[in-house]
Chains A and B, each alone.
Chain A
Amino acid sequence: MAPSKPAKRVTSADVAVRAGVSVSTVSKALSGNGAVSRETRDRVLAAAKQLGFTARTTTTSRNARLTQTIGVITSDNVGRLTVPVLLGATETLAMNGFALLLLDGRGDPIREQQFISSLLRRNVDGILMTGAGEFSREPVRTDVPVPIVYAMAWSKDPADSSVVPDDAEGARMAARHLLATSRERIVFVSGPERDDASRSRSAAVEEALDEHGLSLASPPVFGEWSERWGRQAAAQFVKSGVDFDGVICGNDQIARGVTEALRDQRIDVPGRVGVIGFDNWDVMVEASRPRLSTIDMSLREVGNIAAGLLLKGIEEQHLEPGIRRVDCQLIIRESTAPF
């Protein structure tokens, strides 16, 4: 969408009110695309003229409704986090008669640009950019004439629309849960420090502890998003003699590694230490012994909402800017059972 929008735009909703019809009737009438009676069309035209409404000629005049297609550009080889987002988006789109054209940008801006051109040539009605994780990213080029929504990785341009899980709040929920199970000597292990998710979650945990006048029992440790790193970090904590009874992990793989290393050291989970992960990835949480408490990022819902926003943007030819944060959910399992 063009970055500069007039301060008070007349929208098709305004025309609809004036003409006494629905927004979708306005779209159909102006696009010449749907079955609208001549007098209705004239009424809509007259209302549009009176209000000085200029339809976005690109969308309507390209018979966009004929394609009923959204282009999706993924960033990460359609990885584990993208899949549920795509599933959620597909569902919402399919229920509204839209299909999904999928292209893998691999997080490469040049590929993304190429794909956007290709999608526009195919007359897609909107574009969904899905990120590989949660971090900010550069916006795509600004002269795209259809609505664009970013999911997971949000656009740095405040005029863009993004939908992300509220993972900072999720991290706070994890901390509060450990506190609620009477654990107060908490440590934090996560993926690389340069990853936004690591930094925002560690800051959120420290915030939540601070609310209770507490702080981490040891500085946060950063490594990889892997079980191996979880095992190593846990071994490090034990060896260093830190006194801890709760571990907040940046993801479920790390949490599983931590749990296994503690078990190897004959430290009982949850008997002596509570461990909580992040992701609610069934493969990890179910196979872990004990099964892992974790934070579910509601990724399907992120996909649902992003698709819904796009559909709305296509209908009304206008997208509300800003970042929408979707609530996470605390999932409690045996690894944080109270003492």
Chain B
Amino acid sequence: MDRDTEQRITAGDVARRAGVSTSTVSKALSGNGVVRTETRLRVLEAAKELHYRPPLREGESDGTKARTIGVITNDRFGRLTVPVLLGAFEALAQHEVALLLCDGRGDRIREQYFVEMFQRRRIDGILVAGSGAFPRPALHVEGSIPTVYALAWSVSDHDMSFVPHDAGGAAAIAEHLLATGRRRIAYIAGPQRDTASQVRLAEVRRVLGENALELSHEPLFGQWSEAWGRQATTQLIHSGAPFDGIACASDQIARGALEVLRENEIRVPESVGVTGFDNWDVMVEASRPPLTTVDLSLHDVGVAAGLAILHAMKGEPNVAKGIHRIDCQLVPRESTAMS
């Protein structure tokens, strides 16, 4: 239902029904001014019978509507979702749009429950934030409520999704390692089945291939954790394969790698260059030496998603469907400095 064209019941209609003046209606519903309880109840009943929705208070009569966007998060409000949300906030807050927040917990049944709640509350738009960068099924949203996906993209062509261009970031990191003189590069990935692992690894291999190079060891698949970074690096050292660069699929993995290299007195960056992925301040701040990595531009992803919903809510037709990839940024630090 298009709210803009719906017939508006006025305060005058309610006043007539309740047998009072419009100013009494206003006082009764806003709570400003003294109204007898019985009178107020009569007004409320009349308002309910007529499905009257009082306009916003004074100061809001210039036609700006109070809009709300339902947000479903899926990664326990983790470090990926929060910057995306803040970006969306920024884009929307200036337009007096608030975010109604729900925790989907990566559970499709919960997500659908919240979508239905949003529909009942006649929300103006829906933002679905994923727990990582991978494809996911579209939610079933009725009517024309604009729905945008961030981080995890919808597989449906009819949806709009905003994701970091992490393939671009992975290519940049590979090119950076080559540019700093490294040639024998190993790769430590997250779980093999993870889209992000596969995409980032594929890009690194592609860039190496273009330079007539290969990985100096087969890729090591494991977990998104420091412990895995440590274990994989230990394996790498014991394998005897020569290496002068380790590209890691995340900052946490990279941190684990750095620790084991340190313990084995392999100097970074002098002997080996190490890179991460994410630009997660907690990991990067504490790494020794400070870690070269890729920033996922999550804030920009959020801003883009927020603006897309805003434009869609206003009925502007120029928002393209499909997946929009936001560029990532290489952040070079000491861990790949040239000797």
Partner-B contacts on A (CB < 8 A): 30-33, 41, 45, 48-49, 55, 57-59, 61-63, 69, 72, 77-79, 83, 86-87, 90-91, 94, 99-104, 118-119, 121-122, 145, 226-228, 253, 256-257, 283, 286-287
Contact = CB atoms under 8 A, between A and B. Distances in A.
B103 interface: yes
B103 A57 contact: no
Interface string B36-73: 01101100110110000000110010000010100100
Contacts of A90: 101-103
B85 interface: yes
A78 B37 contact: no
Nearest to B225: A287
A253 B86 CA distance: 24
A57 B101 contact: no
A30 B45 CA distance: 11
A94 B37 contact: no
B187 interface: no
A256 B226 CA distance: 13
Interface of B: 28-31, 35, 37-38, 40-41, 44-45, 47-48, 56-57, 60, 66, 68, 71, 76-78, 82, 85-86, 89, 93, 96, 98-103, 117, 121, 225-227, 252, 255-256, 282, 285-286
A257 B103 CA distance: 33
A31 B40 CA distance: 9
Nearest to A94: B102
Contacts of B255: 287
B227 A61 contact: no
A86 B47 CA distance: 35
A38 B256 CA distance: 70
B306 to A, nearest CB: 13
Contact of B98 (A41, A101, A283): A101
Nearest to A91: B103
A272 B50 CA distance: 76
11 contacts: A45-B38, A59-B31, A61-B29, A61-B31, A63-B47, A86-B77, A87-B76, A99-B117, A101-B100, A102-B101, A118-B96
B102 A99 contact: yes
A232 to B, nearest CB: 12
A32 to B, nearest CB: 3
A283 B57 CA distance: 46
Nearest to A56: B31
Contacts of A94: 102-103
Given A78-B82, A121-B56, A121-B60, A63 B29 contact: yes
A99 B225 contact: no
Contacts of A69: 100
Nearest to B255: A287
Given A30-B37, A69-B100, A101-B99, A61 B44 contact: yes
Given A103-B93, A287-B252, A227 B37 contact: no
Nearest to B60: A121
Contacts of B99: 101-103
